[in-house]
Amino acid sequence: MKHSIIHFVLLLGCTCLFSTQAQAQENLFNCGSSHAVNRVLNSHPELKAEYLKREAELAAMDQQAFQTGYNKSAKELLPVYIIPVVFHIIHQGGVENISDEQVFDAVRIMNEDFRKLNSTAANTVSQFQSIAADCEIEFRLAQKDPTGACTNGIDRIVSTLTNNADDDSKLNPWPRSKYLNIWVVKTIGSTGVAGYAYLPGTAFPSTVDGILILSNYIGSIGTGNPTRSHALTHEVGHFLNLMHTWGGNNDPGVDCSGSDNVSDTPPTEGWTSCNLSGATCGSALDNVQNFMEYSYCPTMFTDGQKTRMRNALNSTSGQRSSLWTSSNLSVTGVSLPAVLCKADFESNNSSNTVCEGSSLTFTDLSWNGDPTSWNWSFPGGTPSSSTDSAPVIQYNTPGIYTVSLTVARGTETASVSKTSYVTVNSATAMYSAPFYSEGFEGAAIPNNDWQVRNLFPGGNTWSQVSTAAASGYMCVKLTNASSSDGYVDELISPSINISAIAGSSPILTFKVAHAQETANSEDKLQIYVSTNCGLTWALRKTLTGPTLSTAGIISTSFTPNANQWAQQSVNLTGYASQTSLYIKFKFTSNGGNHLYLDDINISGTTGVEDELAHSISFNVFPNPMEENTMVSFNLVNKQRVELQLYDVVGRYVKTILTEELNAGEYQYAVSEKTTLPAGVYFATLTVGKQRFTKKLVVK
């Protein structure tokens, strides 16, 4: 839209607003641009001066080009400008951590929109069909990062800055002279804002140049949808120097005084609904279907917009002119044909966990050239090898297995091996007894009983420690005091036959110790159960922040004392009939301190670990069993006491003690009372009507 006098508002942080179409029709918009603009202008008036000068020159060029038919450039076959792109996914492991496929879909939509290959192009009203442009601009995901290493153009970063995002959330920027940086986040600071981009030469500092956009406005699949999928096209338009059709501000529907300095876009007040017969500034029909509108029915760019964007790509302003050069296409790896540089794969189950006898389907995700042959290795699987591109493998034996893949295309090959990738759980419970107990006094975790799953490599981990047990000598610790927010770490139990638990109301109890580092720390511990070998999980309890903390706020590395342990319980009554139940402790880091777990018990009797339990101090040590392994306990008053041993399936083995004892401390040497073959046993102490259980490992 061109007026006799150039009129625009400098939009250094062009914040663009989208909602659902219904919201748009209700005109529910809010914008934080003015504050950003005033802040930048007040701090950097030299940017405004440069922009004004450049814009005046571009406006004059546009007017001349319009009068001569844009020098026929819109109708001739021009060089296709290819722009390397990197998507930085800033996330905390939630839905904002969108899939590779969703990113690929977004790139597809951008290319269709800029090449006039979008399926909606045919819907453009007849008055604008003749000026609807193939912009001859394309986008390709980078295949080499700034160091020259292989990449798929998707950079995943765990950070709380995905929330209320702004320029500070633009982590790990790649050089703007080589890449179009797109940062994908969960929420943006200004209410209602879907994304924003900088016009060429207006970003300060240069490391924030690019696009910030919400994760659910990427592509048409996953968390995206077709209605929102063109928002990224809109933002790229800003990156390539396009303003909104009504001018350089974020307020459509105000008046006709603005201009986008493009001569073939009719004057308009701008639209937040799809009124294809609208004419807000006279008799001329508004270009409501323009990608730079808010109408939610976009189909086109105009010839004038095409010329303006291509002029931006030929200008040194914002270093846009270096993006499409042949040397840069080579440096960023987007020159064709693509190089096969990394092997990768995934299974159809995100946890890579199955019951024995079940199958997994594996899919090749190798970068970047398309392989023509595959060589898979599946130890423990049937078949144990495959040359299919997407093999289906059955796992019949419980265990943890490695998967390896070598891909090839011509002379190019790439290989990857993922250790402990597949977990096959037993469909039959490992433990079937009137009780279950785990004090972590045995083998270090992970072990045959307990699985450890750290969802972010290099992040936190669960480990067995001997520095702070609630009872006995050992417990497990989640190292967390200096970790990044958003890390997720899981500790998964063996399968337990809950139907064998004595009583009709099984209850899980465990002891936990944790401290917040600050009052704002919001670490989270969640307890889940699974009845299908860990394929799906049901949440049973959540402890967060101060609710989780047992020791208040401690800014230094936390090690609990005896008074900083607390007991938690989880009602499992609804699972009383389950013959194979798994328990999962899931920890999500958010600014807190270390976390410790100990004394996990499942019993049919409520109140198993109440005040009496603390006073009795029932322990088995050392464990695994040695010649001097002792069973110890305290009595606060005279009680009838029975100490028995059971095997792992709950069969009675031996009674070590049964008599009435006075108050005091007692110790009994297990090896003096019985000889046990290698295996797992339960030592059960019954005091009056209370029963306590400890697991005993015999090697």
Query: Can you tell me the mean pLDDT for 633-645?
Result: 89
Across all residues in the chain, what is the average pLDDT?
Answer: 86
Share of the chain above pLDDT 70, in %: 89
Q: Which residue has the higher pLDDT, 123 or 443?
A: 123
Residues 36 and 115 grouped into a single domain: yes
**What would the two tokens of residue 681 be?**
């046993």
Split at pLDDT 50, 70, 90, the class of 23 is very low
**356 found inside a domain:** yes
- The H or E element containing residue 103 is helix 100-114
Q: Which residue has the higher pLDDT, 492 or 92?
A: 492
The residue out of 299, 329, 359 marking a domain boundary is: 329
Residues 80 and 174 grouped into a single domain: yes
Residues 584 and 501 grouped into a single domain: yes
Burial of 458 per CB tally in 10 Å (0-12, 13-18, 19+): exposed
**What is the CATH classification number for the domain harbouring 105?**
3.40.390.10
Does the pLDDT value for residue 141 go beyond 80?
A: yes
**What would the two tokens of residue 222 be?**
């996953």
Rounded Cα gap, residues 84 and 179, in angstroms: 5
Residue 150 vs residues 102, 140, 247, 414, 695: alpha-carbon distances, Å: 20, 14, 41, 11, 49
Predicted local confidence at residue 585, as pLDDT = 97
- 154-163, 385-394, 475-484: which is most confident: 385-394
**What would the two tokens of residue 199 be?**
């016009």
Phi–psi pair at 263, nearest 5 degrees: -75, -25
**What is the CATH classification number for the domain harbouring 359?**
2.60.40.10
Residues 535 and 661 grouped into a single domain: no
Residues 294 and 360 grouped into a single domain: no
Rounded Cα gap, residues 315 and 200, in angstroms: 9
Rounded Cα gap, residues 228 and 218, in angstroms: 8
Residues 603 and 621 grouped into a single domain: no
Residues 277 and 232 grouped into a single domain: yes
**337 found inside a domain:** no
For residue range 535-558, list pLDDT tens digits in order: 889 999 999 999 999 999 999 999
Predicted local confidence at residue 39, as pLDDT = 55
Residue 52 structural domain: 14-329
Q: Is the bond preceding 383 in cis, omega lying within 30 degrees of 0?
A: yes
Does the pLDDT value for residue 204 go beyond 60?
A: yes
Q: 3-state DSSP call for residue 165? A: strand
Residue 492 vs residues 94, 227, 327, 595, 667: alpha-carbon distances, Å: 21, 41, 51, 16, 33
Does the pLDDT value for residue 607 go beyond 60?
A: no
For residue range 43-58, list pLDDT tens digits in order: 777 777 777 787 777 7
Predicted local confidence at residue 457, as pLDDT = 62
**What would the two tokens of residue 552 be?**
């208040």
Predicted local confidence at residue 664, as pLDDT = 87
Sheet holding 392-395, edge to edge: 345-347, 358-364, 392-395, 381-382
Sheet holding 664-669, edge to edge: 619-621, 630-635, 664-669
Split at pLDDT 50, 70, 90, the class of 16 is low
Does the pLDDT value for residue 7 go beyond 70?
A: no
Residues 493 and 567 grouped into a single domain: yes
Predicted local confidence at residue 189, as pLDDT = 83
**386 found inside a domain:** yes
The residue out of 549, 584, 608 marking a domain boundary is: 608
Rounded Cα gap, residues 487 and 589, in angstroms: 5
For residue range 389-420, list pLDDT tens digits in order: 999 999 999 888 999 999 999 999 999 999 98
Q: Is 235 a catalytic residue?
A: yes
Burial of 5 per CB tally in 10 Å (0-12, 13-18, 19+): exposed
Does the pLDDT value for residue 661 go beyond 50?
A: yes
- What is the pTM for the complete model shown? 0.76
At position 143, the amino acid (one-letter code) is Q
CA atoms within 13 A on the CB side of 390: 5
- The H or E element containing residue 409 is strand 399-409
**What is the CATH classification number for the domain harbouring 580?**
2.60.120.200
Compute the residue count for the chain: 699
Residues 588 and 491 grouped into a single domain: yes
Predicted local confidence at residue 14, as pLDDT = 45
Residues 262 and 136 grouped into a single domain: yes
Q: Which of 139, 122, 140 is nearest to 300 (CA)?
A: 122
Query: Can you tell me the mean pLDDT for 93-99?
Result: 91
Query: Can you tell me the mean pLDDT for 280-293?
Result: 93
- Least confident range from 20-24, 143-147, 287-291, 511-515: namely 20-24
Q: Which residue has the higher pLDDT, 234 or 9?
A: 234
Q: Which of 55, 96, 136, 235 is catalytic?
A: 235
Burial of 122 per CB tally in 10 Å (0-12, 13-18, 19+): exposed
Number of separate domains in the chain: 4
For residue range 306-348, list pLDDT tens digits in order: 999 999 999 988 999 999 999 999 999 999 888 899 999 999 9
**369 found inside a domain:** yes
DSSP state of 342: B
**570 found inside a domain:** yes
**What is the CATH classification number for the domain harbouring 639?**
2.60.40.2360
Q: Which residue has the higher pLDDT, 480 or 387?
A: 387
Does the pLDDT value for residue 32 go beyond 50?
A: no
DSSP state of 431: B
Q: 3-state DSSP call for residue 626? A: coil
The residue out of 398, 425, 452 marking a domain boundary is: 425
- The separation between the first and the last C-alpha atoms of the chain, rounded to the nearest angstrom, is 83
Residues 159 and 236 grouped into a single domain: yes
DSSP state of 443: S
Residues 282 and 374 grouped into a single domain: no
Cβ atoms < 10 Å from Cβ of 168:
10
**334 found inside a domain:** no
**3 found inside a domain:** no
- 179-183, 612-616, 644-648: which is most confident: 179-183
**1 found inside a domain:** no
